[in-house]
């Protein structure tokens, strides 16, 4: 096996950004106090082609554990973190995601966003931890599996990356997701020779 290259990291960065960028703006639309339910449904219909999987990400409904008020407040903090992360302020975003998790520790999206922020900061080992935590809440979360694969790959953990990618492959619904999986399968095939 050969170590990964700077080119590999550049490719992974592009794919990571493409896979998670839509979710940097969408979470705000799921906060019940921000938009009416009808708008949520309309947005889901319009963005349907971009959804990571039918099960992935919070669908905007209360997960059913803990306090709904705490979940709504945590969702607001998560959204503020997304705004900061989109502005390149990943460290500040991490603080808000941590507060969201402390307030409501039952939503996979908050853990997923922690993973994204650490990945953006190139702190791959931390990103891996947070994507795995997101998956404990939502095992059918395509984007968490895919981003876990990318970060494991960047760390040179090709066998583990391949395992995560196989999970993402099963969950891939859209052509875009399937293309990304195919691309990574080809990269991993070269590394696992």
Does the pLDDT value for residue 14 go beyond 70?
no
Identify the structural domains of the chain with CATH numbers, from first to last. Answer: 6-191 (1.25.40.10)
- Tokens 């971009």 identify what position? 50
**pLDDT beyond 80 at 117:** yes
CA–CA distance, 153 with 159 (Å, rounded to integer)? 9
Q: What's the pLDDT at 2?
A: 39
The mean pLDDT value for 98-107 works out to 97
Task: Answer yes or no: pTM beyond 0.85.
Answer: no
Tokens 């960065």: give the residue.
Answer: 13
Q: Work out the pLDDT band at 54, boundaries 50, 70, 90.
A: very low
Please, which pLDDT band fits residue 61 given cuts at 50, 70 and 90?
A: confident
Contacts 24+ apart (CB under 8 A), 31-34: 31/72, 31/75, 31/76, 31/79, 32/60, 32/72, 33/72, 33/76, 34/76, 34/79
Least confident of 2-6, 108-112, 140-144, 153-157: 2-6
Residue 21 confidence (pLDDT): 41
Q: Determine which helix (DSSP H) or strand (DSSP E) holds 144, and give its type and residue range.
A: helix 142-154
- pLDDT of 130 reads 98
What local confidence, expressed as pLDDT, does residue 38 receive?
A: 36
| Residue 40 reports pLDDT greater than 80 | no
Average pLDDT over residues 93-115: 97
Q: How many CB atoms lie within 10 A of CB 9?
A: 15
CA–CA gap between residue 187 and residue 5 (Å, rounded) = 11
* pLDDT at site 62: 85
Portion of the chain with pLDDT greater than 70, in percent = 69
- Summarised one tens digit per residue, pLDDT across range 149-178 is 999 999 999 999 999 999 999 999 999 999
């Amino acid at each position: 096996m050969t170590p990964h290259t700077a080119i590999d990291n550049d490719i992974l960065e592009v794919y990571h950004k493409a896979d998670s960028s839509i979710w940097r703006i969408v979470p705000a639309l799921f906060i019940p106090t921000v938009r009416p339910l009808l708008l949520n449904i309309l947005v889901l219909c319009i963005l349907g082609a971009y959804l990571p999987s039918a099960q992935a990400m919070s669908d905007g409904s209360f997960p059913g554990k803990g306090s709904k008020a705490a979940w709504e407040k945590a969702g607001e903090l998560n959204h503020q973190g997304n705004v900061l992360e989109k502005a390149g302020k990943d460290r500040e975003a991490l603080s808000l995601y941590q507060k969201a998790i402390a307030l409501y520790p039952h939503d996979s999206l908050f853990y997923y966003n922690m993973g994204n922020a650490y990945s953006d900061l190139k702190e791959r080992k931390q990103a891996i931890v947070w994507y795995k935590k997101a998956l404990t809440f939502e095992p059918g979360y395509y984007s968490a599996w895919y981003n876990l694969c990318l970060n494991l790959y960047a760390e040179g953990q090709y066998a583990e990356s391949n395992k995560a990618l196989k999970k993402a492959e099963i969950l891939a619904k859209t052509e875009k997701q399937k293309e990304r999986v195919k691309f990574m399968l080809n990269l991993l095939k070269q590394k696992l020779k």
